[in-house]
Chain A
Amino acid sequence: MKGKSLGYILQRLGPLLGLMAIVIVLSIMSPQFLDLDNLFNVLRQISIIALLAFGMTFVILTGGIDLSVGSTLALAGALTAGFMASGIDPILAVLLGVIAGAVMGAFNGVIIAKGNVAPFIATLATMTIFRGLTLVYTDGRPITGFTDSVAFDMIGKGYFFGIPVPVIMMFVIFAILLFVLKKTVFGRHVYALGGNEEASILSGVKVNRVKIWVYSLTGALSALAGIILTSRLGSAAPNAGFTYELDAIAAVVLGGTSLSGGRGWIFGTLIGALIIGVLNNGLNLLGVSSNYQQIVKGGVILLAVLLDRQKSS
């Protein structure tokens, strides 16, 4: 029993140890890496992927997957920009944008839960549909110059006590979601559903309701990520968030959450997103070409999964 719990601890700490190793190597190779400015920079860069990955963690814990997060990000970002361009108050526009994202997610959830469609297929379809809707809505061109609101600018570019606002948002949302997963009945049901759907139904868990909520949550978080991106760039591009779903899934997997559902934790996802962010940033600082960066990133993911296999066998 002792040996087993040791392995369990290692498995849990694995992603963290990996992150620390990468940080140590990078800080030796590039002295600027540990500058506070640079670290905030890393955190701001990952905040968008992290929000997507947080939602993805819930989805994957239920045994599902959501490929539509990148498209949801783009459509919600464009809608928010469009609302503001048409004169709606920026704060109200942001709220409507997040609600729109939640509705898109709920649409996924209903198709998956009530229509009994495999999550991969359902969200593959909606990924294409939402991207198409974005192109139609923006007419294929970025929306710019939609507002001069300082409040909206703050979302992506602002600082609060010297910390970038997106970073604060990421940590606040992380804390809330951590609480939801660990401490609430809903969180427990997410794990139970992913672990054994039939046993969950027979134990009185409303699994369809849980699924719809989980995808709605992911949609809302994707929309928020889209709004942050729109604010930071001052523009809502129709191709925003393209292939972000893959980075989000990578962050979840790097964090040690099982793709088959029922096992995992959101803290790991935060670490996973950090690993991706730190790698990107460090390789940039070292002047590695972006072509090679992709290879390194892929290699790290493979290595992480292989190590995980070793430990669990």
Chain B
Amino acid sequence: MKGISKSFVGNKVLHEVDFEVKSGEVHALLGENGAGKSTLMKILTGIYARDEGEVLVKGEPVHFQNTKESEEKGIAVIHQELNIIPYLTVMENMFLGREIKYGKTGFINKKKMIEKSKEYLGQLGVEIDPLTPAKELSVGQQQMVEIAKALSLNAELIVMDEPTAALTDREIERLFEVIDRLRSKGVGVVYISHRMEEIFKICDRISVLRDGEYIGTRDVEGADYDEIIRMLVGRQLGTLFPERETVVGSIRMKVDKLSSDIFQDVSFELKEGEILGVAGLMGAGRSEIMEALFGYREVQSGKVYINGKETKINNPLDAIKAGIGFVTEDRKEEGLVLSMSVRENFTLTNLKDRSNYSVISNQKERDFVNGMIERFNVKTSGMEQEVKSLSGGNQQKIVIGKWLGINPKILILDEPTRGVDIGAKKEIYQIMNELTQQGVSIIMISSELPEVLGMSDRILVIHEGQISAELNRDEADQEKIMYAATGGE
């Protein structure tokens, strides 16, 4: 792609961008939210028409009008939200719309389709029965099915948009093996991700976009991490994690032998002004423990004490009354009401305080929301904008903000910076730090070890529903955490 420019309603979102992928190369496309990555990829696949520049496939200029045309030229996209129909089988998903039939009859040649599905899945080195209904697969497996589907379309260039966002660590390993295989088959891969560690691990080259401009391309080998970050944000970011100076106070919450069908005998303490990091593999039960503390999941036994008093939490409203806020892992499904405005989302947890006798006060609501937008530096065209159209980072700020509205004493954050660009990430860390200075206790679940190590005062490691280690800030390191997370003694 050469000199690509694109404007929307007079707003230039891409400015003479160059981008190339060689066959057998894994090429990372980096950029903060809104830098123009998705637009560039949509131009590549024919969803958008370009204003200027040209797209060449194997040296040949092309003008795709739609994704069907780009698919025919061997370009496939694996979207962040997978295009899988849950009630159809793996095989039916793979051949959807181009089922193999007996000649020209409408009858499906099932045997042939099974055979072909196995062949393509086999090329990826994954074993999935083609007759399994897709809904029974894990997200990682579903992704494999999509990649296999791309192969069956003879894809020579596969674009992967945030492919690891919903995967467990083990599934990520598997994905990387598959990407390696694709590379050795001569397939080019565009790898879009925010996770720098992964990019350095799997990619050959990195291209950076910023504010719609092409900044540069570097070979991963010999690339300087700091330089890439500088290219990405266009400024010195300084240290990502703020200095933690908060003095940890007395015990705020005590959890005593909490058990459910997923976790057992979970006991820990949380102190005033403390950030308690919770690490562990995905599926270890971290989120489930927090859901239970928040009254969103049933517990079989165990007690919770807040400020020394036993507190019964049977539903989220009880938790809110006890001063607990919960920033859930899945922003779109559990955090936000996407059809509502920035204003309505900010106040959903704390409407009572913005009302007089159950009648919402415009003044109180607007004052609160304006304050939050300012405090969080939310980039929006106004408080009436629908949250759906905001970037991931800004959406996350709203989810955190809506919990600050209840003046929480305890704030639980589940993967607070997932899918958030690095600038917003830093802002979120800053806010967490400020909150603890005001005495708020924070529990932070995170799968990003640098984040856990950078922010936590104390770290709990969960393994198969139990606490397998408790580490202080100064004794913890990545190895110790991984050791405990994978069940080492």
Residues of A within 8 A of B (CB): 1-3, 183-186, 188-189, 191-192, 194-196, 198-206, 262-263
Contact = CB atoms under 8 A, between A and B. Distances in A.
Given A1-B381, A185-B351, A204-B320, A196 B333 contact: yes
A195 B338 contact: yes
Contacts of B337: 191-192, 195-196, 199-200, 262
A5 to B, nearest CB: 9
Given A195-B338, A196-B336, A199-B335, A184 B316 contact: no
Contact of A203 (B349, B358, B360): B349
> Top 10 A-B pairs ranked by shortest CB distance?
A195-B337, A195-B339, A262-B339, A204-B317, A204-B320, A196-B337, A203-B348, A203-B349, A185-B351, A185-B358
B126 to A, nearest CB: 31
A115 to B, nearest CB: 18
B339 A183 contact: no
A203 B340 contact: no
A70 to B, nearest CB: 29
Interface string B345-362: 001110110010011100
B340 A202 contact: no
A203 B360 CA distance: 17
Nearest to B335: A199
16 contacts: A1-B385, A2-B9, A184-B358, A185-B352, A188-B344, A191-B339, A191-B340, A194-B339, A196-B339, A198-B334, A199-B333, A199-B334, A202-B335, A203-B348, A204-B316, A206-B317
A163 to B, nearest CB: 29
Contacts of B263: none
Contacts of A204: 316-317, 319-320, 349
Nearest to B380: A1
A186 B359 CA distance: 9
Contacts of B319: 204
A203 to B, nearest CB: 5
Interface of B: 9, 294, 296, 315-317, 319-320, 326, 328, 333-340, 344, 347-349, 351-352, 355, 358-360, 381, 385, 402
Contacts of B385: 1
Contact of B360 (A184, A192, A195): A184
B227 to A, nearest CB: 35
B296 A201 contact: yes
A189 B352 CA distance: 11
A15 to B, nearest CB: 19
Nearest to A206: B317
Contacts of B340: 191-192, 195, 262
Given A192-B348, A263-B339, A185 B360 contact: yes
Contacts of B351: 185, 188-189
B370 to A, nearest CB: 18
Point out which of A192, A202, A206 has the most chain B C-beta atoms below 10 A from its C-beta: A202
Contact of A184 (B296, B317, B359): B359
Given A192-B344, A199-B333, A201-B316, A186 B358 contact: yes
Given A184-B355, A195-B338, A199-B334, 20 more contacts: A183-B359, A185-B351, A185-B352, A188-B347, A188-B351, A191-B339, A191-B344, A192-B340, A192-B348, A195-B337, A196-B336, A199-B335, A202-B296, A202-B328, A202-B335, A204-B320, A205-B348, A206-B317, A262-B337, A263-B339
A16 to B, nearest CB: 20
Contacts of A203: 316, 348-349, 402
A186 B347 CA distance: 13
Contacts of B381: 1
A205 to B, nearest CB: 7
Contacts of A202: 294, 296, 316, 326, 328, 334-335
A200 B328 CA distance: 12
B427 to A, nearest CB: 23
A191 B319 CA distance: 23
A185 B316 contact: no
A2 B344 CA distance: 21
Contacts of B336: 196, 199
B344 A198 contact: no
Contacts of B333: 196, 198-199
Contact of B348 (A183, A200, A206): A200
A3 to B, nearest CB: 6
Point out which of B317, B326, B348, B402 has the most chain A C-beta atoms below 10 A from its C-beta: B348
B10 to A, nearest CB: 10
A163 B272 CA distance: 65
A105 B107 CA distance: 49
A203 B326 CA distance: 8
A232 B360 CA distance: 38
A183 B9 CA distance: 35
Nearest to B382: A1
B43 to A, nearest CB: 20
A312 to B, nearest CB: 12
A2 to B, nearest CB: 8
A65 to B, nearest CB: 18
A202 B329 CA distance: 12
